[in-house]
Structure 1
Amino acid sequence: MPPPSLRLRLVGLALMGLALGLSLPATAQVVLSGILGGRALLLVGASAPKAVAPGETFQGVRLVSLDKDSALLEQDGQRFTLRLGESPVQVKPGSAVARPANGKRITLTSDSAGHFKSQGSINGQIMQFVVDTGATVVSIGRPDAERMGLAFLGGQPVQMQTANGTAQGWRIQLHSVRIGDVEVFDVDAVVTPQPMPVVLLGNSFLDRFQMHRVSDQMVLEKRL
């Protein structure tokens, strides 16, 4: 058995380590540095880069799927999209992607059906978006609105056409809508009575940008 002085020192070191451990945030900085065939080259925290295939997990980050210039990742139950050339993403368990919201440009690539999809957040909560240039405002299904805790029942009632006829929706204003490092505030939206698989990004969001198409890409430049 070590002498009392050494035992006290060991206990002190253990308590110091515990205190340091409790003070460290459970976060990890993730970078998509390249795409090698069917694998994503990921840097997580201070680790060396590693080629990760869809379904594999590296340093607590799972690669869900891979596109030609982006990767859908998951950490601590939170999914987020990384694109080549974007700034690092820091994910905190139980919260949306934490990234400085000072960006001015969004680049979206169409899928095989010609839709422009992206992951982003509404009022800090992660959502899946599809661009809809024919929609006047951002449209959210009632189940998603309830999950986000939006107070839509107090919003202005509007009549909406559904597959079953006319139904009542609610017009509200969203504090923030964010894609990547670009965020806009006070966005008009409508909550639909029926569930929707995604949030439709209508012109109440798109009108904040200058929009142009380049091949299979849609580029949104934030207006001054």
Structure 2
Amino acid sequence: MKRRAGLVVALSMLLWLPAPPVVHAQAGSVKVEALLPNTAVLMVNGQRKTLKAGDSFQGVKLISADASAAVLEINGERQQLGLNRNITTNFVAPVQRQLDIPRNERMQYITSALINGRSTRVIVDTGANVVAMSARHAAALGVDYKAGSRSKLETASATIDAWMVTLESVEVGGIRVDNVRATVAEGDFPSTILLGMTYLQHVELRERDGVLSLSRAW
């Protein structure tokens, strides 16, 4: 997929960087193998996975963790599980969600998104290392960007003031990611919100015959 011409997002800090879904119910085994602050190593159905708070794997979401236990969410219910403790339960295996976006005449992939629960248009842009929006967009979405940290954003023609913020959530085609880092530029640039890598790193991207597919096992 081509990067959007003329855009370079460079920040003054390092960043952490519709087919109907099919759901199968199955018996699941979950074991806690290691615990760190807000991090846990789980064995889920025989597969080892390190999760940070908020991450999900095979239908199991880590809510929090400390030295004594992990709080997990399975089928919408929260359970506390200690080190080397194992539970067997029936839970829903992940749903494969996919959104197909056709390329327009300007070689752009434009779709709708929910940012902090509010609908807006976005351009999928792998050349942007963060989700990027203007102050006008932030006001429309209820984002108090001046409570964030000041930064600078370089465009093809100038360097402008910007603020780094954390969005509560970004959802595209039913694929939701929480706590997404974003930059808000003073003024009206960019004209359309750029769906950058702080969201896109959480999904699988495939482009074929002018159609970009975003997918993730939920």
* TM-score normalized by the length of structure 2: 0.53
1: distance between equivalents of 2:151 and 2:143? 16
Write 1 or 2 for the structure with the bigger share of helix: 1
Unaligned residue ranges in structure 1 (runs of 5+): 1-82, 88-101
Larger relative CO (CA 8 A, sep 6+): 1 or 2?
2
2: distance between equivalents of 1:223 and 1:204? 18
Give how far 1:167 is off.
2.1
Summarize the alignment of residues 136-215 of structure 1 with structure 2, pairs less than 5 Å apart.
136-162=129-155, 165-195=158-188, 196-215=190-209
The answer to whether the 8 A contact 2:175-2:215 is kept is no
Give how far 1:158 is off.
0.8
Cα–Cα, structure 1 residues 136 and 223, in superposed 2: closer, same or farther, change >3 Å? Answer: farther
The ranges of structure 1 where at least 4 consecutive aligned residues each deviate by more than 6 angstroms after the TM superposition are none
Q: Decide which structure has the larger Cα Rg and report it.
A: 1
Percent of residue pairs bearing the same amino acid type:
24
The answer to whether the 8 A contact 1:104-1:222 is kept is yes
The answer to whether the 8 A contact 1:129-1:200 is kept is yes
- Please list the CA deviations of residues 50-71 of structure 1 after superposition, one character each: whole Å capped at 9, or x if unmatched: xxxxxxxxxxxxxxxxxxxxxx
The answer to whether the 8 A contact 1:103-1:182 is kept is no
Cα–Cα, structure 1 residues 208 and 106, in superposed 2: closer, same or farther, change >3 Å? Answer: same
The answer to whether the 8 A contact 1:121-1:178 is kept is yes
SS in 1 for 2:150: strand
Write 1 or 2 for the structure with the bigger share of strand: 2
2: distance between equivalents of 1:197 and 1:185? 24
Give how far 1:159 is off.
1.1
Summarize the alignment of residues 29-178 of structure 1 with structure 2, pairs less than 5 Å apart.
104-162=97-155, 165-178=158-171
Unaligned residue ranges in structure 2 (runs of 5+): 1-17, 22-94
* Aligned residue-pair number: 127
* TM-score normalized by the length of structure 1: 0.52
- Across the aligned residues of Structure 1 and Structure 2, the Cα RMSD in angstroms comes to 2.2
2: distance between equivalents of 1:178 and 1:211? 15
